[in-house]
Amino acid sequence: MSTHSLHFGKVAVLMGGRSAEREVSFMSGNGVLSALRAQGVDAHAFDPAERDLSDLKKEGFQRCFIALHGRFGEDGTVQGALELLGIPYTGSGVMASSIAIDKTMTKRVWLSEGVPTPRYVLLKNTNLGEAVQAQVLQTLGLPLIVKPAREGSSIGVFKVLQASELPQALQAAAQCDTDILCEQFIAGDEVTCPVLGEGDNAQALPVIRIVAPAGNYDYEHKYFTDDTQYLVPSGLPEAEEKAIQAHVLQAYRVLGCKGWGRVDVMIDGQTRQPYLLEINTSPGMTGHSLVPMSAKAAGMDYEALCLHLLRNAGLEHPATQEVGA
């Protein structure tokens, strides 16, 4: 038995789940599972959509690596269940996860702390009439972005170029969520920046610049084609990259994130001002994923990254004694 196996005990890699990102989660989870097993960790696949989470306790799992994406995995629900079960898990806790999954709540916190993020209008799927559409167009102008407030992997995201396209985009996004975020479009460079750690010890990894065909970095181009270019080193001026990393660290810390995360950023092509779009608290770990790519550029390979994240698994409220003891 390896030292890793002794140290970590029986580990569940949570993958699949019930969100729209189930397919991507399996890709991430199987990569993590292989990496941990290659390092001698006693790791097992566990799909919360197929099994009850109480089985984790019954079967003696001692840690969980969360490779779930989206709702019921990245939104604080699984984190809360694991807190109750007393099983340490990777990534952010209940509050940070639940805020970060909601792009609107994230923006509200960021704006209160001076973190730059695009202007927005929040709509409910029960009120998408002409008056509301006129308000969106007047506030944000064209082009603009329409997206569900609580989805990831670019699911349900639309770029609206003309006013006539807005109704269809809103209806499509409304199929994914009750809350619809309309956002100012920032034309310029698209980058992403991962973070590892917690609080003052959190560190930003190298920035990755994303160059997608015709600027269309959608679900297909994220996971299933090789047409998108990922540039790391980013090729940005050093001062610009450092400024982005500083914004990203602030954004990560004010939400109370820990373990790891990845912040997506647009850089205005005219002013070079970075605007933070959203934060992912359970980022992808697929063959196309960006956190492993950035970590590798910083000298940490995929297997080492998985071990690092598992080593830092924890609980927000470790039990000091059994109830009734």
pLDDT, tens digit (0-9, with 9 covering 90-100), for 277-323: 999 999 999 988 999 999 999 999 999 999 999 999 999 988 654 44
List phi, psi (to 5°) of 13.
-95, 105
In a 10 Å sphere around its CB, with 0-12 CB exposed, 13-18 middle and 19+ buried, how is residue 230 labelled?
middle
Alpha helix positions (H), the chain? 3-8, 22-38, 54-58, 77-85, 94-100, 103-112, 130-140, 166-174, 219-223, 238-254, 290-297, 302-311
The three-state secondary structure class of 129 is coil
How high is the pLDDT of residue 243?
A: 98
User: Which residues are catalytically annotated?
Assistant: 21, 153, 223, 262, 264, 278, 280, 284
CA distance 103 to 149: 5
Contact 239, 267 (CB under 8 A): no
More confident residue, 228 or 92: 92
Which pLDDT value is given to residue 324? 45
Q: What is the pTM of this model?
A: 0.92
Q: How far is 81 from 313, CA to CA, in rounded Å?
A: 15
What structural domains does the chain harbor? 3-90 (3.40.50.20), 99-116+186-310 (3.30.470.20), 120-184 (3.30.1490.20)
Which pLDDT value is given to residue 156?
82
**How confident is the model over 226-239, as a mean pLDDT?**
93
Q: Rounded to 5 degrees, what angle do the CA atoms 99, 102, 106 make?
A: 60
* Predicted confidence band of residue 178 (pLDDT cuts 50, 70, 90): very high
